[in-house]
Amino acid sequence: MNKNIITLLLVGLSVLLASCEEDFMETKSTQDVEPSQVFETTKGAMMAVNGLHKLMNQSSLTSYISYAEGGFETFMIWMDMLGEDLVFTEANAQYQTAARWELHRTIGSNTAYDHVAYHYRLFYNFIANANQIIDNTDNAEGSQSEKDYIKGQAYAYRAFAYYHLVQAWGERYKAEGNNTQLGVILRTTNSTENLPRSTVEEVYTQINSDLDEAVRLLAPLNVKRENKSHIDIHVARGLKARVLLTQGKWREAAELAQLVTDNAGAKLQDDTYTTLANRMSDQTNTEWLWGKKSQEDQAGYLSDFHSFMSNMNVSYNRNTPRAIYNLLYNRITDTDVRKKVWFPNAQDPDFEPHPVVPTSGRIRNYMANKFVLANETAKCGDVPYMRLPEMILIAAEGYARAGRFQEAAQALYPLAHHRDPAYQLSAKTGNELIDEIMFQRRVELWGEGFRWLDLKRLNLPLDRGPATREALGYSNAPWNSNTQMPVNVDPEASNYNMYGTHPMGEENRYKAAGIKEWQWLFPNIETDVNPLCEQNPI
């Protein structure tokens, strides 16, 4: 990796710091503190950990602030834009090329506008700062429990960064083994030497080693988190469960997710899907295990998650509402409370309920209010990174794919019944039960950054549904009215490309599993200075 990038990452350690709680976690902003001074005490080292928290929603790593560069939160949006369940409703500058499968396959000549370079740099920023914390905290003045809490979070963040790097830039992990395909460059120290890409197996070995160390350090501690932006033992185990699921280690993933479900103290909350209750944008929700706690000084950036996902005051959502894939929505039962946050009849002025939209905002059928902000003028809210329902779904999927169908049905039931009181304990087995679980996963985790990763880990194609059958007389007219419902709609067609100017193009309706486009291209900031980094097939 470029020596200049390493320098930037280390400087970032002293500027990406936030305040924290009492005792060693009671800190002030330390923008004027040199990195060498940060690790004199555990109080300073804790500020460095807060820098890692800040990277989850850092607006930019350069002086240029792009609207699609808002830390890990914008990567979450990419992960759904590349899939089929989050539908783009209008031609718009932001995320349109991501939905077209162009952006992650484009090497930008101007790195200030290169979103692939931004996210690549972002994850290595996590890694470089975590390396600093891991290497320096033992010599800091403070108690051993404080050091363990600091290092445990750093190990978890390093694993978190490599987990997303290898999924985006590497080929998928094959559960059957022989994962000698190229992954990403492993750097467990902040050296500036050129290194080749490690294999996918080597990267996952490092990820699991880091998470095991995070669990070992965090498990004995009884540290009260200031808020849910911090990583505790349950979050570390939840990350490990995600990794095991991606590797196809079904039973191990299920058992670890069940351990989190049983011990984290999180509870399903009755008003999570009440549209105006703000419950998907507030980390006090008892379902949340890990998430961003918004601060007043974070509001106002068009790079914030809610600027693109909340359908509220910010222009990009006002002009381009996000919608759910209609063929997925149509499978949701009428007794399911989750059905209330999408509006298939939004363009019908006589249909109740209506979606929440800002003044002069566009209205589109199937638009979403999942991440609505109760304050219409707000531009920033809390963002979920891990919730209890995900752990329930990992347990259910893991047990089902391991052939333990009764345990899978029992694991799924609390969530499915809570969301739909009419839901009965499933008696399905095999692929039918797996399909039911994956349906629940798609509905529950819609918009939270999982869909493309699920398609890739399972080696499934991207299928955005059938086009309108115009030969049978159905209309393919765009759904572009705020007050008039489309007519003569094909009941079997998807709502992909049915809005605005058909912005995504028919060529992007289907992507076969395993083709080269499932791998992101490495940016010039790596390949131009590191001849050992082999580029993915172009």
Domain tally, the chain: 1
Nearest CA among 521, 335, 498, 502 for reference residue 416: 335
Q: Can you name the residues that pair with 462 across neighbouring β-strands?
A: 511
Assigned token pair, 462:
């991207």
The answer to whether position 167 is within a domain reads yes
12, pLDDT greater than 60:
no
CA 433 – CA 435 distance, rounded (Å): 5
- State the pLDDT confidence band at 110, using cuts at 50, 70 and 90: low
Lowest-confidence segment of 96-105, 383-392, 468-477, 497-506 by average pLDDT:
497-506
Q: What is the CATH number for 33?
A: 1.25.40.390
CA 1 – CA 3 distance, rounded (Å): 6
Do strands 86-88 and 322-324 pair parallel, antiparallel, or not at all (unpaired)? antiparallel
CA 18 – CA 24 distance, rounded (Å): 13
Nearest CA among 72, 95, 94 for reference residue 82: 95
Residue type, 42: T
Nearest CA among 386, 305, 383, 325 for reference residue 75: 305
Question: pLDDT tens for residues 63-104?
Answer: 445 667 888 999 999 999 999 999 988 877 778 888 999 989
Mean pLDDT value across residues 362-389: 88
- State the pLDDT confidence band at 501, using cuts at 50, 70 and 90: low
467 DSSP 8-state letter:
P
Confidence (pLDDT) at 61: 52
Residues 357, 361, 364, 366, CA torsion sign: negative
278, pLDDT greater than 70:
yes
Confidence (pLDDT) at 431: 98
Question: pLDDT tens for residues 296-336?
Answer: 545 556 778 888 888 766 667 788 889 999 999 999 999 99
**What string of DSSP letters covers 321-338?**
-EEE-HHHHTTS-TT-GG
CA 313 – CA 311 distance, rounded (Å): 7
Confidence (pLDDT) at 295: 67
Angle, nearest 10°, between helix axes 388-401 and 430-444? 160
CA 57 – CA 225 distance, rounded (Å): 19
Mean pLDDT value across residues 386-410: 98
Residue 40 burial (CB count, 10 A) = 15
Assigned token pair, 468:
């309108």
Confidence (pLDDT) at 109: 56
Q: Is 225 exposed, middle or buried (0-12, 13-18, 19+ CB in 10 A)?
A: middle
Nearest CA among 341, 330, 226, 323 for reference residue 279: 341
Give the residue with greater pLDDT, 198 vs 359.
Answer: 198
Residue appearing with tokens 């974070």: 298
The answer to whether position 263 is within a domain reads no
Residue appearing with tokens 């790596």: 526
CA 405 – CA 217 distance, rounded (Å): 34
15, pLDDT greater than 90:
no
**Domain range enclosing 212:** 3-226+519-527
Confidence (pLDDT) at 169: 98
Q: Can you name the residues that pair with 342 across neighbouring β-strands?
A: 368
Question: pLDDT tens for residues 256-273?
Answer: 999 999 999 999 999 999
21, pLDDT greater than 90:
no
Do strands 86-88 and 367-368 pair parallel, antiparallel, or not at all (unpaired)? unpaired
Question: pLDDT tens for residues 123-182?
Answer: 999 999 999 999 999 999 999 999 999 999 999 999 999 999 999 999 999 999 999 999
- What does the mean pLDDT of the chain come to? 88
The answer to whether position 200 is within a domain reads yes
Confidence (pLDDT) at 90: 83
CA 255 – CA 250 distance, rounded (Å): 9
- Chain Cα centroid distance, residue 382: 14
Give the residue with greater pLDDT, 384 vs 318.
Answer: 384
5, pLDDT greater than 90:
no
- What percent of the chain shows pLDDT beyond 70? 87
The answer to whether position 339 is within a domain reads no
22 DSSP 8-state letter:
S
Mean pLDDT value across residues 385-399: 98
Confidence (pLDDT) at 385: 98
Element (H, E) at 432: helix 430-444
